[in-house]
Structure 1
Amino acid sequence: MSFTMIGFGLIFIKNPPKEINSTLGYRTKMSSKNKDTWSFAHKYAGKVWLLSGGVNAILFIIVLNIFKDSGVFESIVNTITSIQIAILLLVIPFTEIALKKTFNKDGKRKIQGFPVKNLIM
């Protein structure tokens, strides 16, 4: 599971689907508004998956080595796998929050920094 997250993270960061489509990629109403939201969503989701997949892989290897000879090994693996699936799905709310912070409801980037009216004296 961790290596799947890392793999898709790298793909989404380096080579996301170029065109908005209904079959491949991170497809939500907000990410499909335009090419800017599409690209942003894939890069953001890719970073989340890459980071969480890397952390998961390290923790999974450590925990497996600690419990490899114990009677609870199978339960530990099942629990970790369930946690990894939950983390895999958390990319959706994280990415949607980032999209809403970066873009307005029409898919146009929000102005970052000081509002223009504060610059006028």
Structure 2
Amino acid sequence: MAFWCFMLATDLLVPLIMIGFGGTFARHAPREINGLFGYRTPRSMRNQDTWTFAHHYSGRLMLRWGLVMLPLSVLALLPVLGQGEEVTGTAGAVICCVQLIPLFGIIAATERALKRTFDDRGRRR
């Protein structure tokens, strides 16, 4: 049971981080464009407008997906409650890998939105 609780806590990290950063970015983008913190892609770092847009857009998506993944992660791990460590560990690893799909989807969606909204120089269309 202790290992199952550990795996549950581990599997809830990604959705909780997405909710935390998503809520923060949806309301407040980091003030300055930087290479250390935030949504950092060449397109998002072109100017302050693209930087702010990318954070607000990706933040809303992260918040939504984090709220969806949180209960789904719990539900996905419930069937292995009381199983051995190997089964629980495998299920937890699969859940963590599946949680990466929305993360990559958020990046792709944000880049598409940036491309639709801004030209190659970072000016609004």
Normalising to structure 1: TM-score of the pair? 0.82
Whichever structure has more helix as a proportion of its residues is 2
Q: Which runs of 5 or more structure 1 residues have no equivalent in the other structure?
A: 111-121
How big is the shift at 1:67?
2.6
- Give yes or no for the alignment of 1:4 onto 2:17: yes
- 1:66 equivalent to 2:79? Answer yes
> 2:56 matched to which residue of 1?
43
Alignment-derived partner of residue 102 in structure 1: 117
Say what the alpha-carbon RMSD is for the aligned residues.
1.4
User: Which of 95, 98, 101 pairs up with 1:80?
Assistant: 95
> What corresponds to 2:26 in structure 1?
13
- Based on CA coordinates, which of the two structures has the bigger radius of gyration? 1
Q: Which residue does the alignment assign to 2:47?
A: 34
1:47-90 Cα shifts (integer Å, max 9, x gaps)? 11111111111101112223312353221111010111232233
Counterpart pick for 2:106 among 79, 84, 91: 91
